[in-house]
Chain A
């Protein structure tokens, strides 16, 4: 494998890590609005992801940073091409990050309600936006010979990109509910498990439709096999949920996500961004890549950095492995 291909693979892996990790913490944020009854339950939800969401978010920062370093042309075309969706994601991430830190800092119902609303918006918009943006890079944008977008933001709105948005949001919501089934205890745990059982299939539907479209239009024989794995894993997860095998279902959802990401990026390769105007303008892995020297430098950094990240982030999850319930939530102490 040459270095540009290695980096294409690594960037796909970073996105997978991001969708998996921040996927469930987005889901928890979404459920803050639709799955809780009182303030203590909301604090339980927030505390399940409190120690880890910031670390999870770094995955996207590194995914985008790595794209800048390894494929500058891809970075430039994608972020300027999907300008408004990226902006909305940014604004939501700003609000969300601040809201987690600030919501408990003043003891007032109105104060908390407002920040909770920002957490909810901030948990819905980014998965919708990233689903939209990543599907756009897989299925192509109207880019010209310089890699600049021709036309306006409306040209990005297509059935695939909309499905991509819904698919990631649906997955995150389900993933979040299953995660809460693992991390909480008491009444809230049973409610989350019931939610996942009831709506699981519905939430995975847009993803299945997107998978079918991408496979038919852009896929190959080997991606069909991986798509089959995705389908099997999701069916497995949906069957395990009613039996209370939450941990296994959570793992299978991860397998499904990995398979879908492989199909998406696998059918994209060897391109990084197809042009819907003219295939001559399509950006390929080879063309968009940085020089071999730059790639080898960041490969060394990644070779040492990535395992370390996995180890200490894994350890963080181990440290905070205990279930949380309303009984653990103390009275807020604020000035």
Chain B
């Protein structure tokens, strides 16, 4: 095994893992901010319960998102030092901006929100969750701008040392690729939060509220949450589809090889059909053994917006790439066993082909689940069927899977490049993944960190799931005394009442005061 493989596995594992947490944080933070706004406007205790319950799940998940994010920022330098030197002038800027203008806001205001329930006025407390939620969105924008530059390098010129040099931050931040990727990712995040709301609420409704009256406050919490999740799920699916179509058109133009691989399109076709599924040996680069079931002319539509256009296939693209970027890796000893070897310009076909299909497929299932959930709960109904709750719970996994496959597709699809040369990107700016890896790091160190991070991540995944399930099952009672219940006689906690006496907070909500510190840590 070469250090390149180890570094790639580590990057893949840590990134996919990080991106399980991030969409849930982004989506839930926005929805919690909306719930708290509803509470602020109406004073309806149902919205307070929703804010606290879903807010708690968001926090359990947020902690993991933060700590896995630090690894992302550091490992460019640790494992990819050659890459860092090559792109530092460009790539570092959006990362630094993310820290300075987004992540600082996110962390500070989330701390204020968690502990500020009885310290801040209601209005300031509401502003805190909005600041944190919007900062997560801004965070996503900067990170996607950095990633998009690797997919489509713009806003740079080649400097005197041969490395790209930023000459327009504006072009980098308004890269067509990030303008497409950002709405797509944001919608994908909201889809995650939507199905989480649906799945957990459906379970509570099915378990507890088959026969409770329609105005029962607990039932109303779950019903409202489910409906909110359903609408968010549907709307985000629409946004995902529109932005995804836009993204695909850009990709045909910017990275034709990635899309040809995503379609297992070996020969150029005119018009080209969209493959639904393929049978045969996708690992065979000549694609002689692949039989694909296609919808005629649909791929031409995806690529160019009409049903006639020619779409270039892998076998015609290979010679074009070889002519432009060489047929063999340079004879550089730092490339290890790849030095002097022929360059394989075709990304892994099984990964790109199935990654693309799974992304779309799981996304569609999530949307269908959202539509079904809305239908079954129309007019305040509680579904009577046995299978509704388990299906809704299972559907929680689908947008996570769709996001994961989407990222695997988009990152693996650009191999063998880490910075992809594009017809519309700046000419001559590209880097092979093989030459990006750290030269000063030993294989032993790299393997050790891969194993250590993977084990720690795996252990934490178990803990996070355990806690999420525990709090999800407990419902509103797990995070606060339900606002519609009478308080217990004050014998369980002698220190509680004395606490509320000496504070200067004016925004204390009924029933929240003594729960503040237990809501926090």
Contact = CB atoms under 8 A, between A and B. Distances in A.
A302 B97 CA distance: 8
Interface residues of B, number: 89
Contact of A73 (B88, B452, B453): B88
Among B63, B91, B111, the one with the most A-chain Cβ atoms within 10 Å of its Cβ is: B111
B63, B68, B499, B515: which has the most chain A beta carbons within 10 Å? Answer: B63
- Residue of A43, A52, A333 most packed against chain B (CB within 10 A): A333
A102 B66 CA distance: 14
A32 interface: no
Interface of B, secondary structure class, is helix
Size bracket, chain A contacts: 35 or more
Interface in B429-443: 438-442
Interface stretch (A144-152, A211-219, A247-255): A144-152
Interface string B474-517: 10011111000000000011011011000100000000001101
A81 B93 contact: no
Contacts of B109: 312
Given A75-B88, A294-B89, A90 B96 contact: no
Indicate the member of A69, A93, A146 with the most B CB atoms within 10 Å: A69
B73 interface: yes
Contacts of A100: 63, 521
A152 B444 CA distance: 10
A319 interface: yes
B499 A330 contact: yes
Contact of B438 (A80, A101, A332): A80
Interface in A238-281: none
B110 A54 contact: yes
Interface in A89-116: 90-91, 93-95, 97-98, 100-106
B453 A330 contact: no
B9 to A, nearest CB: 15
8 contacts: A64-B73, A68-B77, A80-B77, A91-B456, A144-B440, A147-B85, A152-B442, A335-B478
Interface of B: 59-60, 62-64, 66-68, 70-71, 73-74, 76-79, 81-82, 84-85, 87-93, 95-101, 103-105, 107-112, 114-116, 119-120, 159, 165-167, 169, 438-442, 445, 448-449, 452-453, 456, 460, 463, 467, 470-471, 473-474, 477-481, 492-493, 495-496, 498-499, 503, 514-515, 517-518, 520-521
Interface of A: 43, 46-47, 50-55, 57-58, 61-62, 64-73, 75-81, 83-84, 86-87, 90-91, 93-95, 97-98, 100-106, 143-144, 146-150, 152-153, 290-291, 293-294, 297-298, 301-302, 305-306, 309, 312-313, 316, 319-320, 322, 326-335
